[in-house]
Amino acid sequence: MAGNADRPIGVFDSGVGGLTVLDELLARLPSEDFIYFGDTEWFPYGDKSAEDLRARADAIAGWLLAQDVKMIVVACNTATAAALAHLQTHLDVPVIGVMTAESHAAVQSSRTRRIGLLATEATVASGSYQRMIAAHDAGAEVTAVACPRLAPAIQSGDPFDESVVDMVREYTQPLRDADVDTVILGCTHYPMVAKLIRRQVPDATLISSGEEIAREIADTLGRQGMLRDGGREGHYAFACSGDPDAFGTLGTRFMQMPFGDVQHVDPGVGPAT
C-alpha cells in the first residue's frame, strides 16, 4: 500500500458531469493521481430515489476504496444531496461533496440576495441547497428550477442545437422573472452549457462546483498533510459502468484530453442502510 499522501483521489458522478470538477482538480493539483468513475449505466441520477442513490454510492465507494483512494470526491450534486452524509458517516477516508462551497460562494457573490438555482429534480426536491444557502444567509431568496431534460441532453453527446437553446431558455425563465443576480449551476453537467445559460441571464454571476470544490479539496489535503509532493506529473484513469468506448469518446470531447483505456466496472448495489 502506498503512503497516505501518495494514494490516488477517487472522483465519481453519474456520467461526464463530474469531469467539470476533475478538470479543475487536475489544474489545481497537478501532482495528484485521480481515478474517475462515471456511473453511465445508472445515468441519470436525477430521477432516482435517495435510497437507491445511497445504495449505489455505497457500492461505488467500495470499488474506489478497493483502488486504495485516500479521499472520495462526490462530483455530483444529486449524489451529494442523497448520499454524502451517509458516506461520511460510514467511511474512514475524507468524503467531499459539492454544494457547500457553491452555496457559500453564491451568498458571498449576491448583492440583491436573490439567488437562482438550476439542478436536477432530485437535488431541488431534497431542499439541500436551500438549507445551505439559508445557513449562510437566512434572508436570501432562492428561486430553484428543476431541469429534468438538461443533463440527459448533455450526456447524450448530441450536438447542442436549437432544442437545447430552447430548453435553457425555458429553464432560466423563472430566474429572469425573479431577477436573480447570482445563479448556481447545481448539477456538474451544466458548466458544459454555461455559454448557453450565460446568454439567458447575462447580468448574473454563474457559480459552478468545480472551482469551489477544487479549492476546498486542496485546503483539506494540505491541512491533513495528505498533499502529494509537487514536482511530478500525476496520472489519471477512468472507469465507467456503461459502454467504455462511448464514455471515452464523449469524455475526450468534453475534457479535450486523451482518456486512455476506460475500464468497465460494475460496482453492483451496496446495502441500503
Confirm or reject binding of residue 56 to ligand DGL (CB under 6 A).
Answer: no
Smallest distance from the beta carbon of 42 to ligand DGL, in angstroms? 8
Contacting residue, 8, 46, 97, 244, with ligand DGL by CB under 6 A = 46
Sheet holding 141-146, edge to edge: 141-146, 114-119, 182-185, 205-208
Q: What distance lies between CA 15 and its chain's CA centroid?
A: 10
Identity of the residue, 154 or 226, whose beta carbon is nearer to ligand DGL in the bound complex: 154
Confirm or reject binding of residue 123 to ligand DGL (CB under 6 A).
Answer: yes
Report long-range pairs for 199-206 (Cβ below 8 Å, ≥24 apart). Answer: 200/168, 200/169, 200/172, 200/175, 200/176, 201/116, 201/172, 201/175, 201/176, 204/116, 204/175, 204/180, 205/109, 205/110, 205/181
Judged by CB under 6 A, the number of residues near ligand DGL is: 16
At 152, the amino acid letter reads P
187 is catalytic: yes
Confirm or reject binding of residue 151 to ligand DGL (CB under 6 A).
Answer: yes
Cα angle: 108, vertex 170, 251; to 5 degrees: 75
Confirm or reject binding of residue 20 to ligand DGL (CB under 6 A).
Answer: no
At 181, the amino acid letter reads D
At 123, the amino acid letter reads T
Smallest distance from the beta carbon of 88 to ligand DGL, in angstroms? 18
Confirm or reject binding of residue 45 to ligand DGL (CB under 6 A).
Answer: yes
Smallest distance from the beta carbon of 229 to ligand DGL, in angstroms? 32
240 is catalytic: no
Smallest distance from the beta carbon of 54 to ligand DGL, in angstroms? 15
User: Considering only residues 70-109, where is the footprint of ligand DGL by CB under 6 A?
Assistant: 76-78
Of 106-114, 186-194, 222-230, 250-258, the segment contacting ligand DGL by CB under 6 A is 186-194
CA distance 93 to 76: 18
Cell of 119: 439542478
Q: Which of 21, 76, 81, 119 is catalytic?
A: 76
- Residues lying near ligand DGL in the complex (CB under 6 A): 13-14, 17, 43-46, 76-78, 120, 123, 151, 187-189
